[in-house]
Amino acid sequence: MTTLPKTAEMRRAFRERDPSYDGVFFTGVKTTGIFCRPSCPARKPLDRNCEYFPSARQALFAGYRPCKRCRPMATDGRPPGWVRELLTRVDRDPSKRWRDADLRAMSIDPARARRYFQRHHGMTFAAYSRARRLSDALIELRRGADMTTTALKHGYESTSGFHDGIKKTFGRAPSRAGEAAAVTTAMIESPVGPLLAGATDAGVCLLEFTDRRALEAQMKEVRRHFGNAVVPGKHAMLDRLRDELKRYFAGELKRFAVPLSYPGTPFQTQVWNGLLKIPYGTTCSYEDLANAIGEKNAQRAVGRANGQNRIAIVIPCHRVVNKGGKLGGYGGGLWRKQFLLDLERGQGSLKPGLK
């Protein structure tokens, strides 16, 4: 369970609109039913009318809706300044072994960094920087680099420590690095909130809303299909996906071209292939989809497979609605489904909100 800062600390940060706490916690306002980020410019409620959550996901599940002023679900690619600087430094020197003293030298509380990265990347900052370092090392080993040279270059004082790190992270010894089916992950900001994306050399294999209940189950499926290694880093497929998503949300892209990798059961694959054939700007019912794939008596199974889609938006499960035209269920929340459909119909404002 993620640990929140002390209540007094959160009250102060929310009251003073402290942007350095954005992403660390979210405030639910009982009198309005909305939740905000700490830096929200709106008038502040009384302390007794506030409750605090470690993630937007938990605030949503508690029944709160996103504030339309501070838009806690849409960070627009602007993490807190201290996080942006930290990520820049990690990217600048991925081989660096980060210690608490290094964070304090940047005026960053190690506990805050741990909480932020645990929430937004699914791992502590220490684990993030270690996985980032080993991800680059794996690429070099795959290209035939010498293990001892690679170990020293990436901050390991011995090959035994490097060997253990690679084996623990990727499930294989360095000598078998070429076999490791690593999934590289990255956060992608969007108008409907942060997305966790994953890709292999074969294509994009994951795109999920970070507050979705099924995210953990989806990650398990990714590990099962592609191997144990899921590490943060950079990948050409993720760069391409990020660019295409940007153009999609700008209303400029109607068909994604980035390669996809979505192994599943034969039936699941059949349903997901069917989803890809639903034209941009249109919808179909579960019954229509079942008929289209030649499974007219399998509407319930089609619905389940639709909900198990691991590549949201790109494999457009949001285009499937109930027979009467009502939205029906959507793992990312009905407000997102409505937003995506409005966008594709040319009615979107690019400002998410509940419908």
Question: What are the DSSP calls for 23-57, one per residue?
Answer: TTBEEEETTTTEEE-TT--SPPPPGGGEEEESSHH
Number of other residues whose CB lies within 10 A of the CB of residue 121:
18
The helix (H) or strand (E) run that includes residue 269 is helix 266-276
End-to-end CA distance of the chain: 31
What are 199's two structure tokens?
């890709």
DSSP SS3 for 199: strand
Of 260, 271, 266, the residue nearest 309 (C-alpha): 271
From the candidates 40, 50, 70, 317, give the one annotated as an active-site residue. Answer: 317
From the candidates 36, 67, 70, 205, give the one annotated as an active-site residue. Answer: 36
The long-range contacts involving 337-340, CB below 8 angstroms and separated by at least 24 positions, are 339/191, 339/192, 340/192, 340/313
Determine whether 124 is exposed, middle or buried from the number of CB atoms within 10 Å of its CB (0-12, 13-18, 19+).
middle
Of 275, 314, 316, the residue nearest 293 (C-alpha): 275
Are 216 and 222 within 8 A, CB to CB? no
What are 168's two structure tokens?
């623990």
d(CA 11, CA 22): 13
Region of 146 (left: φ > 0; alpha: ψ -120 to 50; beta: rest) is beta
**317 classed as catalytic:** yes
d(CA 97, CA 335): 42
**70 classed as catalytic:** no
What are 65's two structure tokens?
């809706």
Residue positions annotated with a catalytic role: 36, 317
